[in-house]
Amino acid sequence: MIQKMISKISLITVGMLLIGSQAFAQQKKADKATESWRYEIECVGIGQPGTKLIKVWSYSKSPKIAITQAKKNAVHGLIFKGYAGGAQGCSAQRPLTNDPSLEQQKADFFDPFFAEGGKYMKFVSVSGDGTPEPMKVGKEYKVGVVVSVMTDLLRKDLEEAGIIKGLSSGF
């Protein structure tokens, strides 16, 4: 009886570990996709002053991870990538930094910043304007999520941390 229970528990543990490691691997893959710019950003409208309302298309085998990764991609994109217009009324937006190698130079700052549950979460929220749009592309999902990024707060935070220069720095 006890032996049966032990084997059941160990089976459940192994199963959970497998699921956990698979989720971990998928998350890692999604992070890698972020680092290699494998996401798309488009503007969907004019947000409140100091915020940007954007739709982020992320890729993952799990639609759930693609949705959570959208927030990370949104912040990453606004810092390093910018976007080229979008819906009517939207104009192309330059990234917060003009230095293309900043992510590598300041890896000590950005690694924990973009880690799971990192500080990036402070500046982004999923907008109530639209539900996620999953699309099956080959073996993975491409999911579009509308998010709102508090760009003014993000910029101020990066300026205070000495990662990017403020408009009045040096004067």
Partner 1 sequence: MKKIISITLSFVLLSALAFGQAKKPTIMVVPSDNWCITNGFFLEFDNQGTKVKIPDYKRAFQENSDLNLVISSLNDMMSERGFPLKNMESAIKTLEAEAAENNMLTSKSGAGVSESPVDALKRVAKADIIMQLTWTVNTTGPKKSITFNLQGLDSYTDKQIAGAQGTGAPSFSAEIAVLLQEAVTTHIDNFNSKLQLHFEDMFANGREIIIRIKKFDSWSEDLESEFDGKELSAIIEDWMAANTVKGRFSTTDATENMMLFEQVRIPMFDDSGKAIDARGFAKNLQKFLKEPPYSITNKLMMKGLGQAVIVLGEK
Binding segment for partner 1 (CB under 8 A), chosen from 34-42, 56-64, 66-74, 93-101, is 93-101
- 135 has which bridge partners? 142
Binding segment for partner 1 (CB under 8 A), chosen from 2-10, 91-99, 120-128, 131-139, is 91-99
| Half-sphere exposure (Cβ direction) of 39: Cα atoms closer than 13 Å | 38
Q: Binding to partner 1 by residue 46, rule CB under 8 A?
A: yes
State the residue for tokens 């408009």. 167
Q: Binding to partner 1 by residue 87, rule CB under 8 A?
A: yes
Is the CB of 116 or the CB of 160 nearer to partner 1? Answer: 160
DSSP string, 107-166: HHHHHHHTSTT-GGGGGEEE-TT---EEEEETTEEEEEEEEEE-HHHHHHHHHHTTSS--
Helix (H/G/I), strand (E/B), else coil: 100? coil
Is the CB of 85 or the CB of 112 nearer to partner 1? Answer: 85
CB of 43 to partner 1, least distance (A): 9
83 Cβ contact partners less than 8 Å away, ≥ 6 residues apart: 41, 42, 43, 54, 77, 92, 93
Q: Binding to partner 1 by residue 89, rule CB under 8 A?
A: yes
Is the CB of 138 or the CB of 170 nearer to partner 1? Answer: 170
Q: Tell me which residues in 104-123 interact with partner 1 (CB under 8 A).
A: none
> Cα–Cα distance between 43 and 19 in angstroms, integer?
35
Helix (H/G/I), strand (E/B), else coil: 97? coil
Q: Binding to partner 1 by residue 91, rule CB under 8 A?
A: yes
Q: Binding to partner 1 by residue 93, rule CB under 8 A?
A: yes
Q: Binding to partner 1 by residue 165, rule CB under 8 A?
A: yes
Residues in touch with partner 1 (CB under 8 A): 45-50, 87-94, 98, 151-152, 165-168, 170-171
